Amino acid sequence: METTLSTPLEEPPGFLSLVSMVGDDERYTIQQLKNAERPAPELYGQARDLFVKILDGNFSFEFALSQARAIVDTVERRCAEEVLCASKHFLISQTPAPVRRLPRMWFDLPNGLKIPVSGVRLRQFDEPRLMALYFWKRPLSRWQLSAAAAILQTCLDRFQRHLSFAGIEFISVAEEGNLHRHLRSYSWEALQPLAKDALEHFLERFCKAWRTYKRLPPREIRLREGSQLRLKLRPPD
């Protein structure tokens, strides 16, 4: 049995990962931070690429699904197939339009640290529409969705002011009660971004857990010989 020491995080994760870690139980947040120390492959990268290629008109749904089924890695293939199949009705009903990725933005936490806000895209219709993609097994709670929206809104006001009043599609494809994936698309109205004081309260929960986490010593991690960590332990941004 091989062992190695964990490498504590030097900076907080990106905004979608961060909001997914915050709940009522500080111990849960600390455990998620510990989990995020482990290096792991990107499981949803190809799923996102295929999803976007359908929206911008480069791929038909059928061709994208055939590409998903040709992915060599078993876990990545399953993730891509599940995401596309759960999104079929949405994807085939959309009017194709160019999609571009916005530059990375930064959000200031109450403790002075910065978190990256990346992966936000713009669908270039006559009236441009923002798009954020959350592909993961566990859906965000209503509180987490509203916090993510408030963080994004704050960053747009600071870094992309001309897009502050653009509409948004915050698209989540995650497993729900029956363990099947479902696509949910949220507008700003549905997201209900947290007010400033409510967002500060939400973020202070993370900052408190972060302080406790940073006081912990490195932990010993046991690995089976020749094994690879195949589970990504925080959502991608």
Residue 52 is predicted with a pLDDT of 98
Q: Give domain status of residue 122, yes or no.
A: yes
Residue 201 one-letter amino acid: H
User: Which positions of the chain have pLDDT values less than 70?
Assistant: 1-3, 5-6, 39-41, 221-237
How far from 205 is each of 201, 228, 235, CA to CA, in Å? 7, 32, 19
Residue 181 is predicted with a pLDDT of 95
Residue 200 is predicted with a pLDDT of 97
DSSP 114-135: EEEE---EEE-SSS-EEEEEEE
Q: Give domain status of residue 125, yes or no.
A: yes
Can you give the residue range of the structural domain that contains 99? Answer: 2-223
Q: Rg of the Cα trace of the chain?
A: 18
Q: Give domain status of residue 95, yes or no.
A: yes
Q: Are strands 114-117 and 99-101 parallel, antiparallel or unpaired?
A: unpaired
Q: Give domain status of residue 229, yes or no.
A: no
Q: Give domain status of residue 124, yes or no.
A: yes
Residue 228 is predicted with a pLDDT of 46
Encoding tokens for residue 190? 């549905």
Q: Give domain status of residue 237, yes or no.
A: no
pLDDT of 56-87, one tens digit each?
999 999 999 999 999 999 999 999 999 999 99
Determine if the pTM surpasses 0.85: yes
Q: Give domain status of residue 234, yes or no.
A: no
Domain tally for the chain?
1
Q: Give domain status of residue 235, yes or no.
A: no
